[in-house]
Structure 1
Amino acid sequence: MTTEVHDPELMDYRAEVQSFRDYLKSSKRVMALCGAGLSAASGLPTFRGAGGLWRTHDAISLATPEAFRINPSLVWQFYNYRRHMALNVKPNPAHYALAELAKKRKDFITLTQNVDGLSPRAGHPAEQLFPLHGSLFDVKCSEFFCDYAEGNNFTDPIVPALALPLDESDPTTTEARKAKELDISDAKVLLPELRLDDLPHCPKCKKGLLRPGVVWFGERLPEKTLSTAEDWIIASKKIDLIIVIGTSSTVYPAAGYTDRARVKGARVAVVNMERTEKTTQGMREGDWYFQGDAGVILPDLLKDEIGELTVLE
């Protein structure tokens, strides 16, 4: 004789999942808004890292046009590291689930704040993916009068001079850790000073340095991406659902998309590892909140639409 175990929390969760699935099935216009939490299951280090440092350098201070103008060698080493780390992890089931949903639903778009290139690598249709902050794997000329731009450049390293050790054999890794452990707040790990001639140069104008195609602090978001997303919203008489994944949606203009969707009648579903005041801000009766790993939850939520997800290793 077996005894059934009834877990009220589990039963409530399954009921919420089924409620979401039923509503998605009846929905026509659907959008997703993604943040860093989408890629957490891939094991990708966050942008700022522990303490907001990269090799004892303030990561935020390296993500500006001024930093690139003053020290392009240091900035390119930082972004070379980020490109390398992103290429050495794989898209997780959440990326694949969104990609499959996009393939099955032409009235579904994904707005992503991530620059890691994992959604394109999961096969997400480009015409339904809007990278609001650009991509680590886009490059463009830094010269004002040159319009050269290249997408999906996955060369690692992008130039031979940036073939620097990035694992434990890199002395700057151990130096940075030691400085952190000793709380040497003003310590600076010295990185190799590369010649300008050895950094990526524009093949079109032959003059300017190439730069990462990400949106740096103080820069405008990509106008074409914003306008295309805006056109989709304006063309929607009704938006049925917005799925907010791995972001608190507190940074504008990304935060405004949830409000825009609500104005068009959308219900909101949140998938997040944490439940905080920020992540629950603005939620209403009839919305869904699924707490946990997006790589586990999202394929389950979308199962009726995309079937059993098969992720090739």
Structure 2
Amino acid sequence: MEISQEDLASFHTALKSSKRILALLGAGLSASSGLPTFRGAGGLWRTHDSISLATPEAFNKNAGLVWQFYNYRRHMALQAQPNPAHYALAELARRMPGFMTLSQNVDGLSQRANHPMKQLQLLHGTLFELRCVDRAVCRYSETNFTDPVVPALEIPTSDLDPTSNEARKEKGNDLDISDVQIPLPALKREDLPTCPKCKTNLLRPGVVWFGESLPFHVLEAAEDFLNHPNDIDIMLVIGTSAKVYPAAGYIEKARERGARVCVINMDETDRPAGGWMDGNWFFRGDAAVLVPKLLEPVIGDIKASE
């Protein structure tokens, strides 16, 4: 990974004079922590279409299966650790009141890096919020990092197939559950998390499923930042192609407010919404390495601030 020193110097010059910065985060940021993407859950879920599990209809039809999928994702997220990019962005938030982060990630890594919550908007919710399925009347929600959520959701590690057993032995019994294929137990409704407030409905993961609207308060916060009287200096696009709306729309709106776009991604074919323009920066490589280096003039050595 080679960084153009000319581009780096240009970005640092712009950063040091910036007052308002907007960041858009995607799965590529968490990939640097070793976390599989939503569509790459693998292992336990090779025989399932993960997209088809992320709908209200799937939950109504088979809440046990959906909960097993999301409990698996919670478990994997808790095994991962925030990387230096998470810490760098959290430090920038502490040092720059005019910095706002819009995250498409649900893994909780930004929160665990102590990113100030007033400057972190979760577009797709989080795996670590549980809420009652009855949003019209009950509206109960809680933050929950318990693994597993309930005992019945314990990830099974027995009855491994022979191939996985051999792989496990070769790794010195260091079981990587993303590599194993295990029959999933059929769960009853009473086995699943129940709302402690209404004591009637199930709890569900606090993520945005396909077909659902993004959280209103998040959209409102994003619009308030974009419509602020003062212009935006820089738009950081980290670990995401940002080709799906509303994410793509935020880049366009930031540009309308004067922002220069800086893309940090492993895929050099990814282009920001609207394409490349004069004054853009593209840094190809690992966000965990690049982001602290890019923000260093403002945050200093991130290792000293973690």
1:111 aligned to which of 81, 102, 116? 102
2:189 aligned to which of 193, 196, 199? 196
Equivalent residue, structure 2, for 1:102: 93
Q: How does 1:251-270 map to 2 (within 5 A)?
A: 251-270=244-263
What is the rounded CA distance, in whole Å, between the counterparts of 1:229 and 1:174 in structure 2?
48
Query: Structure 1 residue 292 and structure 2 residue 281: aligned?
Result: no
CA 1:281 to 1:51, structure 2 compared with 1: closer, same or farther past 3 Å?
farther
What is the rounded CA distance, in whole Å, between the counterparts of 1:91 and 1:218 in structure 2?
30
1:150 aligned to which of 142, 166, 190? 142
What is the rounded CA distance, in whole Å, between the counterparts of 2:114 and 2:202 in structure 1?
30
What is the rounded CA distance, in whole Å, between the counterparts of 1:243 and 1:124 in structure 2?
16
Contact 2:160 2:182 in 1 (8 A): no
Contact 2:243 2:273 in 1 (8 A): no
Query: Structure 1 residue 16 and structure 2 residue 7: aligned?
Result: yes
Equivalent residue, structure 2, for 1:220: 213
Equivalent residue, structure 2, for 1:64: 55
2:82 match: secondary structure? coil
Equivalent residue, structure 2, for 1:305: 298
1:235 match: secondary structure? coil
What is the rounded CA distance, in whole Å, between the counterparts of 2:153 and 2:184 in structure 1?
11
| Deviation digits for residues 162-183 of structure 1 (CA, Å, limit 9, x no counterpart) | 11236xx5638968xxxxxxxx
What is the rounded CA distance, in whole Å, between the counterparts of 2:34 and 2:66 in structure 1?
23
Contact 1:243 1:268 in 2 (8 A): yes
Paired residue type of 2:277: R
Query: Structure 1 residue 79 and structure 2 residue 70: aligned?
Result: yes
What is the rounded CA distance, in whole Å, between the counterparts of 2:200 and 2:13 in structure 1?
57
What is the rounded CA distance, in whole Å, between the counterparts of 2:153 and 2:94 in structure 1?
37
CA 1:278 to 1:285, structure 2 compared with 1: closer, same or farther past 3 Å?
closer
What is the rounded CA distance, in whole Å, between the counterparts of 1:93 and 1:304 in structure 2?
15
What is the rounded CA distance, in whole Å, between the counterparts of 1:172 and 1:74 in structure 2?
21
Question: Which piece of structure 1 moves more, 37-46 or 226-235?
Answer: 226-235
Contact 1:52 1:58 in 2 (8 A): no
What is the rounded CA distance, in whole Å, between the counterparts of 2:283 and 2:273 in structure 1?
11
1:247 aligned to which of 217, 221, 240? 240
2:302 match: secondary structure? coil
Q: Structure 1 residue 311: deviation in Å?
A: 7.3
What is the rounded CA distance, in whole Å, between the counterparts of 2:225 and 2:287 in structure 1?
25
Moved over 6 A (4+): 50-53, 172-175
Q: TM-score, normalised by structure 2?
A: 0.89
Query: Structure 1 residue 233 and structure 2 residue 222: aligned?
Result: no
Q: Structure 1 residue 236: deviation in Å?
A: 3.7
Contact 2:234 2:261 in 1 (8 A): yes
| Deviation digits for residues 121-164 of structure 1 (CA, Å, limit 9, x no counterpart) | 0010000001100000011001242110113x101111111112
Question: Which piece of structure 1 moves more, 130-139 or 51-60?
Answer: 51-60
Paired residues, what number? Answer: 290
1:98 match: secondary structure? helix
What is the rounded CA distance, in whole Å, between the counterparts of 1:267 and 1:112 in structure 2?
19
| Deviation digits for residues 4-44 of structure 1 (CA, Å, limit 9, x no counterpart) | xxxxx95x711211110110110111110010011111000
2:38 match: secondary structure? coil
CA 1:294 to 1:51, structure 2 compared with 1: closer, same or farther past 3 Å?
same
Q: Structure 1 residue 279: deviation in Å?
A: 5.3
Unaligned runs of 5+ in 2: 165-180
Q: TM-score, normalised by structure 1?
A: 0.87
Q: How does 1:275-290 map to 2 (within 5 A)?
A: 275-278=268-271, 282-290=275-283
Q: Structure 1 residue 52: deviation in Å?
A: 11
What is the rounded CA distance, in whole Å, between the counterparts of 2:139 and 2:163 in structure 1?
40
Equivalent residue, structure 2, for 1:178: none
Contact 1:172 1:190 in 2 (8 A): no
What is the rounded CA distance, in whole Å, between the counterparts of 1:95 and 1:311 in structure 2?
14
CA 1:207 to 1:311, structure 2 compared with 1: closer, same or farther past 3 Å?
farther
| Deviation digits for residues 33-86 of structure 1 (CA, Å, limit 9, x no counterpart) | 010011111000110117899241100000000000000000000000000000
Unaligned runs of 5+ in 1: 1-8, 176-187
Equivalent residue, structure 1, for 2:160: 171
What is the rounded CA distance, in whole Å, between the counterparts of 1:171 and 1:252 in structure 2?
41
1:90 match: secondary structure? coil
